[in-house]
A and B are shown apart, each in its own frame.
Chain A
Amino acid sequence: MKTKYMNPYLAGVLLGLVLLSAFFFTGRGLGASGAVKSLVVTTVDVVAPEHTAESGYYSKYTGDGKSPMKSWLVFEVLGVLVGGFLSGALAGRLKLKVEHHPNITSKKRLILAGIGGVLFGYGSQLGRGCTSGSALTGMAVLSLAGFVTMMAIFGTAFALAYFFRRNWI
């Protein structure tokens, strides 16, 4: 079965309008990694509250009755989950599976996905946002950080593509 996707330029315009409406309503753009950060801070705070209080990083988001889960990005990412599911349901793409190239096993694909996730998680905190929060939103407001992060992400991925080609082509 061949799955049909939306024309990429049309999808880009629609995504741009979603981003623009976020700016128009709330004065801020999109994001994703920030919601996972809220999840991490909440988890660490439950498991080891004295540790969050001592940490220079976690303590920024806890204490003084602050609740990290009551954040804009947490609600936005819950929306992404619902929106993605709705689109997948309408297009007949809901399926539990590991997508991978025939060159590699699904086990290897999962290990690589995990490593990639760890790197992206770490990098998103160092870079103060990921592809959506820093690169896309940043570029839309012409922020220097947005352009720099965008070029660093895509430039590095292009530079390393050769070494990981067996996994994809």
Chain B
Amino acid sequence: MGPLIPQEIIAEGWNFFIAFVVGVGFGFVLEQAGFSSSRKLAGVFYGYDTVVLKVFFTAAVTAMLGLLYFSLFDWIDLNLVWVNPTFLWSAIIGGVIMGAGFIIGGYCPGTSVCALSIGKIDAMIFFGGIFIGIILFGETYAIIKPLYMAEYLGNIKLSDVLGISQGTLAFFVIIAALVMFYVAEIAEKNFPRKEY
């Protein structure tokens, strides 16, 4: 049955409308969870507020299990669901640069849009920074291209790399998430949040 648009069950013309509606849901939930506050976001790295970890991994596990069950019931054809390709070095180094940006700036791109929508000026500046950062990438593309294209492994899944089934991997991801939630709950008790 699904995905509906790639299989033309819903006309292509609806794609942008659905994108907008999905975005409204995305922004609403992020704001409700407190992702419009850089202080809450950065809290995970100091243990005083681990909302990022809890929301991120609960969401990943929910969507992951949803996809696997939908596939099991033939509600979705996983072959038509986009798997982002792995270019190993750019994934690692890009991630490292983003991690530095996260702890310095206190947001990531999605959360900065959410935060600027409720009036956070720091988020507006962060968003401007993303814009400049992307221009810098565009202007240095010729230099960075060898790294950008290096170690291409295809649209590969972690379960294929490990040689286990998708369900088995999902099981281990859930266990890992539960362990992290347990550690997060302990951390929040031990690193009290200072009000200001």
Taking a contact as CB atoms under 8 Å apart, the answer to whether B20 and A79 are in contact is yes
Task: Give the total number of A-B pairs whose CB atoms are below 8 A apart.
Answer: 528
Residues from chain B with a CB closer than 8 A to the CB of A83 are 23-31, 114, 117
Which of chain B's residues have a CB closer than 8 A to the CB of A12? 33, 54-59, 61-62
Q: Please indicate the chain A residues that have their CB under 8 angstroms from the CB of B84 in the complex.
A: 128-129, 133-134, 137-138, 141, 143, 145-146
* B22 interface residue (CB < 8 Å to A): yes
Q: Which of B17-75 contact A (CB under 8 A)?
A: 17-34, 36-40, 42-43, 45-46, 48, 50-51, 54-64, 66-67, 70, 75
Residue from A91, A109, A110, A152 whose CB has the most chain B CB atoms within 10 Å:
A152
* Chain B binding surface, main DSSP class: helix
- What are 9 residue pairs bridging A and B, where the CB atoms are less than 8 Å apart in the complex? A33-B109, A44-B138, A56-B142, A76-B19, A76-B22, A80-B114, A121-B133, A132-B108, A161-B103
Having A142-B159, A151-B95, one finds 17 other A-B pairs with CB under 8 Å, namely A5-B51, A20-B66, A23-B76, A26-B15, A26-B22, A28-B82, A81-B116, A82-B23, A96-B119, A98-B120, A98-B122, A99-B38, A126-B148, A128-B87, A131-B98, A141-B83, A145-B87
Residues of B that sit less than 8 Å from A by CB: 2-6, 10, 15-34, 36-40, 42-43, 45-46, 48, 50-51, 54-64, 66-67, 70, 75-76, 80-88, 90-123, 125-139, 141-142, 144-145, 147-148, 153, 155-161, 166, 169-170, 173, 181, 194, 196
